[in-house]
Copies of this chain bind each other. A is one copy, B any other.
Amino acid sequence: MTADGADVQDGDGQAEADSRTEPKQSPEIEVPAARERARAIPEAAVARLAVYLRALSGLADQNVSTVSSDELAVAAGVNSAKLRKDLSYIGSYGTRGVGYEVSVLIGQIERTLGLTRKHSVAVVGIGNLGHALANYGGFPSRGFPVSALFDLDPDLIGVPVGGIPVSHIDDIVKVCTEREVTIGVIATPAQGAQEVCDRLVAGGVTCILNFAPVVLQVPENVEVRKVDLAVEMQILSFHVARRQQEAAAEADQSAVDGADIGPPGSGGQVPGDVESADRMVERL
The yes or no answer to A253 lying at the interface (CB within 8 A) is no
Question: Are A142 and B4 in contact (CB-based, < 8 A)?
Answer: no
The yes or no answer to A138 lying at the interface (CB within 8 A) is yes
Q: Which residue of B lies closest to A137 (CB)?
A: B283
**Quick one: given A1-B43, A8-B1, A43-B2, are A280 and B235 in contact (CB under 8 Å)?**
no
Task: Identify which of residues 1-19 in chain A touch chain B, using a CB-to-CB cut-off of 8 Å.
Answer: 1-14
The yes or no answer to A64 lying at the interface (CB within 8 A) is no
CA distance A43 to B208 in the complex (A): 25
Question: Are B6 and A6 in contact (CB-based, < 8 A)?
Answer: yes
CA distance A242 to B129 in the complex (A): 29
Q: Which of B206, B248, B267, B276 contacts A117 (CB 8 A)?
A: B267
Mask of A42-58 contacts with B, CB within 8 angstroms, 1/0: 01101101110111010
CA distance A33 to B113 in the complex (A): 46
Q: Which of B128, B138, B238 contacts A135 (CB 8 A)?
A: B128
**Quick one: given A12-B78, A46-B238, are A243 and B206 in contact (CB under 8 Å)?**
yes
Residue of A46, A50, A121 ringed by the most chain B CB atoms within 10 A: A50
CA distance A114 to B244 in the complex (A): 10
**A129, chain B: closest CB distance, angstroms:** 5
Q: Which of B78, B215, B277 contacts A144 (CB 8 A)?
A: B277
The yes or no answer to A84 lying at the interface (CB within 8 A) is no
CA distance A270 to B240 in the complex (A): 48
Q: Which of B118, B243, B276 contacts A221 (CB 8 A)?
A: B243
Q: Which B residues are in CB contact (< 8 Å) with A182? A: 240
Task: Identify which of residues 253-284 in chain A touch chain B, using a CB-to-CB cut-off of 8 Å.
Answer: 257-258, 261, 267, 269-284
Choose the segment among A103-111, A151-159, A164-172, A193-201 that binds chain B (4+ C-beta atoms closer than 8 Å): A103-111
Question: Are B136 and A77 in contact (CB-based, < 8 A)?
Answer: no
Excluding A12-B79, A223-B239, 9 further A-B contacts by CB distance (< 8 Å) are A1-B8, A5-B5, A6-B6, A49-B234, A113-B241, A142-B274, A206-B239, A206-B240, A209-B229
